[in-house]
Amino acid sequence: MTPNEANHKIDQLSSEIEQHNYNYYVLDKPTISDFDFDKLLEQLISLEKKFPEFFSPNSPSQRVGGGITKNFKSVKHQYAMLSLSNSYNQEDLLDFDRRVREGLGITSVGQFDGAIDYVCELKFDGLSISLIYEDGKLTQAITRGDGVQGDDVTTNAKTIKSIPLHLKGKYPDKFEIRGEVYMPRPVFDSLNKEREEIGDALMANPRNAASGSMKMQDSAQVAKRKLDCFLYYVLGEKLPHQSHIENMHAAKTWGFKISEDAKLCHGIDDVLDFINYWDKKRFDLPYDIDGIVIKVNDYNQQQNLGFTAKSPRWAIAYKFKAEQVSTELLEITYQVGRTGAITPVANLKPVALGGTTVKRASLHNADIIEKLDVRVGDYVFVEKGGEIIPKIIGVDLSKRKAHTPPTKYITHCPECHTELKRDEGEANHFCPNENECPPQVIGRIEHFVSRKAMNIDSLGGETIVQLFNAGLVKTIADLYDLKKEQILPLERMAEKSANNLIDGIEASKSVTFERVLYAIGIRHVGETTAKKIAKKVKSLNVLMHSTKEELLEIDEVGEIIAISIADFFSNEKNKEIIRKLKHAGLQFELSEEQQQGGSEKLKDLTFVISGVFAKHSRDDYKEMIELNGGKNSSSISKKTSYILAGDNMGPEKLKKAESLAVPIIDEDTFLKMIK
C-alpha cells in the first residue's frame, strides 16, 4: 500500500468507526456487530503503526487508551465554571421565580403572559467537565476544579465513546460545551462485583467512581471503566441560536449525547410538575441523578439577569432529599479482607432507614474518620442515597459528651497483631502478614473453593474455619492433602459429609485452567481478567515467565495488574503453593478443545440466562456460550439476542423480555444451536 492509499484508508476507517460509535453510544442503535467493529479498529491501529505520519491525536484508536499522564496540567477556564445555588423545597423555587421575574421587570403572571420559559434538566451525579472544540475537533477537556481553573484530562476524555472527537453537520468554528461524566449503574455494579471477587475495597458510589476514573494516570484503565457523558450547556461567541433549548437540539445534530429527558417548561408550575415526576421516576434510571437543574431558556434574559460572585441568577439546582437519620455510634471495629485491606466499620444503635434496619455503616478508611472527626458515643447522621451501603455524613456536635477522646486509628492488625502498612497513594491500611493472618488465609481458601472458582460446594466457610483452627489447612494447596480420617473428628462431620468433601476436592481437579487462575487469588485478577489471560497465555508456565511488557499486551491487563501478577509469582511461598497444586493434578493449561478456540456459531449473539436447568448448570451454559463465540449478559436490553430460560424464570425478566420482543429459548433449542 502506498502512503497516499494508506492516508486515504486511515481517513475512511476513522470516519466509519466514529459513525459506529455515534450509532451505538449516542443513538443506542448499533448497525454493526462488536466483532466487525473490533476488526475495523484493529485495521486502523495496524495502519497507524505502519504509517505514523498519518496518525491524528483525535483518531478513534485513542478510544482504547494507552497514554500515561503523570501530572494533570492546571488550565484556566475561559468562562468560569460557577456553581449553582441550591434549593430544597417548593418555597425556594417560587422565590427563585419571583427574583427572575423581578430582575426582568415582570411583576405579574397571568395564565400565559408573564410566565418565564425555563428548561428543566436532570442533574447528573458525576464529574463536571468542559470540552473545547476548534474546527470540529476536540482540542481540550478540563475538569471543573475550583471553577476558575481545572485539570486537563483530554487524554482520558478521549476514551469516553459518547464524547465525539470529530463533529458532524454545521457547527461554530470554536465553542465550549459542558456536561457531566458519569458511570452507568450497571457498569458500577459490575465493577464492584469484580472488586469484591478479588478482595479489593468496594467503591462507595458511581459519582466517586467516575471522578476517580478521570484522574487515573493510565488512560487504558480509564477506557475499561466504560464511562459515559451527557452534555448540557454550550458557550461561545457565535452560537447558532438565542435560546438554550435550541442550541442543545443543535448540539445533538453535531454528534453530542444530549438527554432526551430535558423539557421546556412554561412557568414555574410546569417546573414543579417536572420535579414531582422525577422525584419518583429517578429510581428507574440506569444512572444516578441527585436533583433537577432549572435554567432560564432565553439568552437575552440570562444576560439581563447576570451573575452573583458565586452563581448565575438565571439558574438554580433543586436537590432531591436523601434519606437521613441520626443514631448513636456504639463502637468502631476493624475488618480484615482476604487481601489484607483494613476496613473500619461503625457499629450503630439500630435505626430504621430506607425500609431497612441499619446497624452498621462503613467508615472506609483513616482519612474519612479524621475528616469527620467521628468518635465512639457520638450521635451521627447516617444517609442512604445512591450508595450501596449506608454512610456516615456528619456528627451532631451538640450531643457530644464532654471529654470524648478522638478516635485513634489502629496501628496493628486486629487479628494477628502485625504492624499495619499503608502504601503511598493508597486509601487503605493493610496487614502485610498474608500467609499467617487468619482472615486472609481463610478468605483466600473461601475464595478458592467458591462457585466461580474451584466450585467445591461441599466445603463451606464454617468447615474451612474448623480445618484452619485444627491446623489441617494453612494454604489452598493443603486441601489436596486432606484424608478422610483427618476430617471425621471435626465437629458435626459425619461419614457422608466427609465423603462428599473428599469427593468434591477430587472433582475440582478437572476445573478448567481459567477458573484455576482466578481461584489462586492473584490480587486484581478477577473472573473476566483471568479468562482473558488464560486465553492469551494458554498455560500457567507461560504466565509465570511472562515479562511485564508481554503481560501489558493482554486485553484487560494494565500496569497495576501486570505488577500484581509479577509480584505474585516472585513470592517463594506462592511458587511452592503452585508446585503443590500442580503435583495434585490441577489444570494449569487450556484443554485441547479450548486451545482450538471452540467455534464461532454464536458470534455476535448476546444471551441472558434465567431459571433452573435440568441438563447442565448455569455456569456450564455460560462457558458453552463463550466457547462458541457468544457473550453473556446479566440484564435484558434491546441488544439481547436470546434469553436461555429454564424452569422458574424470574417474572420481571419475563415481562421485560416480552416488552422488548426478545426471543426466549429452552436448553434443548440452545444445545441444537451449538451442536
- Residues with catalytic annotation? 123
Grid cell for residue 286 = 440506569
Please, which residues bridge with residue 134 across strands?
A: 137, 174
E strand or H helix that includes residue 127: strand 127-134
Which one, of 404, 389, 393, 407, lies nearest residue 327 by Cα? Answer: 393
**475 DSSP assignment:** S
Q: What residues have CB less than 8 Å from 229, skipping those under 6 apart?
A: 129, 160, 162, 163, 179, 180, 181, 182, 257
The DSSP line for 397-460 is: GGGPPTTPPPP---SB-TTT-PBPB--TT-SS-B---TTT-HHHHHHHHHHHHSTTTT--TTS-
Q: What is the dihedral of CA 435, 437, 441, 442, to 10 degrees?
A: 170
* Beta strands 642-645; 606-610: pairing state: parallel
Q: Which amino acid is at 233?
A: Y
The alpha carbon of residue 206 and the mean position of all alpha carbons in its chain are separated, in whole angstroms, by 7
H or E segment and range at residue 467: helix 461-469
- Across the chain, which distance is largest between two alpha carbons, in Å? 92
User: Considering only CA atoms, which of 257, 25, 57, 63 is closest in space to residue 159?
Assistant: 63
Residue type, 196: E
Nearest-5° Cα angle at 368, 365 to 369: 90
Query: What number of other Cβ atoms are within 10 A of residue 22's Cβ?
Result: 19
Residues 326, 155: contact at Cβ < 8 Å?
Answer: no
Kindly list the distances between the CA atom of residue 370 and the CA atoms of 326, 395, 600, 632, in Å, as whole numbers in the listed order. 20, 12, 55, 43
Give the β-pairing of 174-182 and 323-336: unpaired
Rounded to the nearest 10°, the torsion over CA 276, 280, 284, 289 is 60
CB 352 within 8 A of CB 192: no
Are the CB atoms for 450 and 461 separated by under 8 Å? no
- Residue 349 makes CB contacts below 8 A (sequence gap 6+) with 327, 328, 330
| Bridge partners, residue 660, by sequence | none
Grid coordinates representing 27? 443513538
Nearest partner of 458 among 394, 411, 399, 506, judged by Cα? 506
